[in-house]
Amino acid sequence: MAEARPEDYFPYPEFRRYQREVISFAYEVMSKGRIGLVHAPCGIGKSIAVLTAFLMAKDACLGDDAKLMVLTRTKAQLEIYVREVRRLREEKGVALRAAIFASRQDMCPLRLESEALARARYKDFLRICKELRKGSGAICPYYEDTYGPKMRLSSKGLAALRALLDRGAVLPSEAIEICRDLGVCAYEVVKCSARKADIMVGNYNYLLLRPVREAILWRFGADLPELNCVIDEAHNVDKWAVDVMSDEISSTSFRRAVKEADEYAVEDKGLMALMAEMVDKMGSETYKLYGPEYERLIDLDVLADLLLAELGFTSERVLLSFLRFLEEEGDKIRLSRAEQGQPPVSYVGRCASFLIDFLKLRGREFAHYSLALERDGQVRGRIGVRCLDPSMATDMLNDLRSLVMMSGTLWDPDYYVEVLGLDRERTDFLRVPSPFPRSNRLLLVDKAVSTKYELRSESEFDMIARRLDVLIKAIGGRVAVYFPSYEIMKAILERLRPDLPYLAEDRRTKVEDVLAFLSAHDKCILFGVARGKVSEGVDLSAGGRGLLSGVIIVGLPYPKKTGLQEALTAYFEEKFGRKGWHYANRVPCLVALAQSAGRLRRSEHDRGVVVIMDKRAAGQFKRYLPRDWKADMKASQNLEALVEAIRKFMEDQQL
């Protein structure tokens, strides 16, 4: 058989810079059954590169039955793969089919007709959906009409399936429209289409969550050892992996559960009131010791013994059995509320589910904690359980036939190999530089200030605010300013008096509101937090061009020092030795730094300024930065020199 050539499969007239290298690397990984980590910055065209590599490997050695699972983090990334599959079909005549999955909630046609379902929390939606599919009481008409006898697709279901397969790849919104017109469930039909698909695209849960993985792979017709996989934005996988085994809840939820138990006559033995009191008490103690948003470790055994004593239970097993009863009562409440046209929410069920996980997730890989949030002058407690070890969810990655993990910020490949538990003997690494001209980015460090914990003071924050104001004005246009935490952002904003329109991120900020704000103002400021909604994975562009003229990163975005972070560091030091502190603290800082700076340039034509306001960036920390960052970085304590560098850069760009 002739050697596969990218030109025979690539659907565009020209390759982008470094795109051939990514295709060749991914092809080798897929054809030889290896694991590949790809550091490839924005603008290379990674999505079509891996699809091209898959088609090459399919023809060369994998065979017609080869399957590819693509995992993405956002809807925007999912849409890119739909576009590229369509392009391959149109330009190359490839009979390629892809099953494109959004969440069950996002693909629910009944949700479009029920405001109550539309407003439901995701976990509440899943539980009410499960009850409606059971059909023991209220039923979902769309699910009911999807299947006939023996769970075979009905005539309507088959018609919807044919419509999806004929198109090759459809967006979830298009699948909903097709299926809703036929009166069937879009999620179920897409699930059925997976059997005849070459490619499946969905979020990380389709691989990392065992129940979801087992259900979907059966439909896809592939076991892990037969499956080729691509993980996009792979720098997120470690966080996603621990998130699926972690949870957090507020005292407010327990208080609402008290009222709900009273309203629906659920005998909870006073558990919800007891938990509300305990969570607020622990939160108050944490607040007095450390202030707001500090995760203080708590002893699970002490808390469990206290619950048993107060409730009169003889063992934790009896307590868990009681919690499962409350969970079932919650399902009944959700169903009852849905039938009355109310949001299918149950605080009794939610709190019971949380407590089951809180009590069962234990051992050295988990940490239990308390914290306090301050809102409108009120302090409310929260408790949570956090998984410390991503490999508990990602160790199955080694069972895949092949795996390509790619991102623009895989700066430290050893971190991902060790923390995710990848087989080092099977793992290869490719690093390609940014395809964008380096001359289009000015990278500065303000060495006069720092947000280092030991240096934080009123005078330091005053100086940061003064210098930040000058730098924003020097850059002009739209400037994004990212802080290490909400507390530091609040402290600086209290001292700053912007004379431009600005938007400050909070926990309710929506990305679409940010894009609308930036598009509406030629000169404005976006204030955000590193690792937040507007600094990671969000494309701040319009019409293919970046919206920002500058990004200012105030301080190095190390994780906040809390009891929980100390527990993670201790766990990593025990597991990884001398690398433990680096993996627990410096790598997350590097990723956050890269992601924040990455909001600036979204195309080869974009140009602008990145300023890091922290003297540490020009010190020992610099050795961990990529080669181009180290080469391009200019550092100064002199504010006038920084402003002059910005002025000269802006003038040169206008020539």
Question: In terms of C-beta distances under 8 Å and separation of at least 24 residues, what long-range contacts does 79-83 make, across chains too?
Answer: 79/171, 80/47, 81/47, 81/51, 81/169, 81/199, 81/201, 82/169, 82/170, 82/171, 82/201
Element at 526 (helix H, strand E): strand 524-529
Do the Cβ atoms of 623 and 433 come closer than 8 Å? no
E-strand ranges in 571-621 read 608-613
Rounded to whole angstroms, the Cα distance separating 614 from 448 reads 7
List pLDDT tens digits, range 380-432.
Answer: 999 999 999 999 999 999 999 999 999 999 999 999 999 999 999 999 999 99
Domain boundary, last residue among 177, 194, 211 = 194
**Model confidence at 151, in pLDDT bands (50, 70, 90)?**
confident
Per-residue DSSP letter, 479: E
Instruction: Decide: helix, strand or coil at residue 535.
Output: coil
Tell me: pLDDT of 537 over 80. Answer: no
Do residues 458 and 588 both lie within one domain? yes
Rounded to whole angstroms, the Cα distance separating 28 from 449 reads 47
- Residue 316 domain-assigned? yes
- Residue 425 domain-assigned? no
Rounded mean pLDDT, 309-328? 96
- Residue 383 domain-assigned? no
What's 306's domain CATH number?
1.10.275.40
Which candidate, 590, 645, 639, places its Cα nearest to that of 449?
639
Rounded mean pLDDT, 587-604? 90
Number of domains composing the chain: 4
What's the burial of 16, exposed, middle or buried (CB within 10 Å: 0-12/13-18/19+)? middle
Tell me: pLDDT of 2 over 60. Answer: no
CA atoms within 13 A on the CB side of 365: 13
What does pLDDT average to over the chain?
94
Do residues 473 and 398 both lie within one domain? no
| ∠ CA 64-427-14, rounded to 5° | 60
Instruction: Decide: helix, strand or coil at residue 321.
Output: helix
Predicted local distance difference test score (pLDDT) of residue 395 = 92
What's the burial of 126, exposed, middle or buried (CB within 10 Å: 0-12/13-18/19+)? middle
User: Parallel, antiparallel, or unpaired for β 633-636 and 608-613?
Assistant: unpaired
> Where on the phi/psi map is residue 43: left (φ > 0), alpha (ψ -120 to 50), or beta?
left
Do residues 450 and 552 both lie within one domain? yes
Instruction: Decide: helix, strand or coil at residue 197.
Output: coil
Do residues 498 and 463 both lie within one domain? yes
What's 614's domain CATH number?
3.40.50.300
User: Parallel, antiparallel, or unpaired for β 545-546 and 541-542?
Assistant: antiparallel
Rounded mean pLDDT, 75-101? 94
List pLDDT tens digits, range 465-498.
Answer: 999 999 999 999 999 999 999 999 999 999 998 9
**Model confidence at 653, in pLDDT bands (50, 70, 90)?**
low
Question: In terms of C-beta distances under 8 Å and separation of at least 24 residues, what long-range contacts does 628-633 make, across chains too?
Answer: 628/433, 628/434, 628/438, 629/443, 632/438, 632/441, 632/443, 633/443, 633/444, 633/445
Do residues 324 and 470 both lie within one domain? no
Q: Residue 494 belongs to what domain range? A: 438-654
List pLDDT tens digits, range 329-387.
Answer: 999 999 899 888 888 999 999 999 999 999 999 999 999 999 999 887 789 999 999 99
**Model confidence at 135, in pLDDT bands (50, 70, 90)?**
confident
- Residue 428 domain-assigned? no
Do the Cβ atoms of 196 and 367 come closer than 8 Å? no
Predicted local distance difference test score (pLDDT) of residue 279 = 98
List pLDDT tens digits, range 31-60.
Answer: 999 999 999 988 899 999 999 999 999 999
- Residue 22 domain-assigned? yes
Residues 6+ apart with CB under 8 A from 559: 565, 584, 585, 588, 589
Do the Cβ atoms of 369 and 359 come closer than 8 Å? no
Rounded to whole angstroms, the Cα distance separating 393 from 387 reads 10
Tell me: pLDDT of 654 over 70. Answer: no
Structure tokens at 476: 């002009």
Do residues 189 and 202 both lie within one domain? no
- Residue 431 domain-assigned? no
**Model confidence at 629, in pLDDT bands (50, 70, 90)?**
very high
Do residues 460 and 594 both lie within one domain? yes
Rounded to whole angstroms, the Cα distance separating 73 from 240 reads 9
Rounded to whole angstroms, the Cα distance separating 534 from 485 reads 13
Rounded to whole angstroms, the Cα distance separating 487 from 471 reads 21
- Residue 511 domain-assigned? yes
Predicted local distance difference test score (pLDDT) of residue 652 = 79
Element at 466 (helix H, strand E): helix 458-475
Predicted local distance difference test score (pLDDT) of residue 456 = 87
CA atoms within 13 A on the CB side of 95: 5
Angle, helix 251-263 to helix 347-360, in steps of 10 degrees: 130
Residue indicated by tokens 């389709």 = 206
Do residues 205 and 257 both lie within one domain? no
Residue indicated by tokens 């190999």 = 417
Do residues 494 and 603 both lie within one domain? yes
List pLDDT tens digits, range 192-249.
Answer: 999 999 999 999 999 999 999 998 999 999 999 999 999 999 999 999 999 999 999 9
Rounded to whole angstroms, the Cα distance separating 261 from 259 reads 6
Do residues 577 and 629 both lie within one domain? yes
Do residues 261 and 353 both lie within one domain? yes
Percent of the chain predicted with pLDDT > 70:
99
Do the Cβ atoms of 369 and 564 come closer than 8 Å? yes
Rounded to whole angstroms, the Cα distance separating 403 from 15 reads 23
- Residue 416 domain-assigned? no
Do residues 166 and 314 both lie within one domain? no
User: Residue 68 to residues 199, 337, 414: CA-CA distances in angstroms?
Assistant: 5, 41, 25
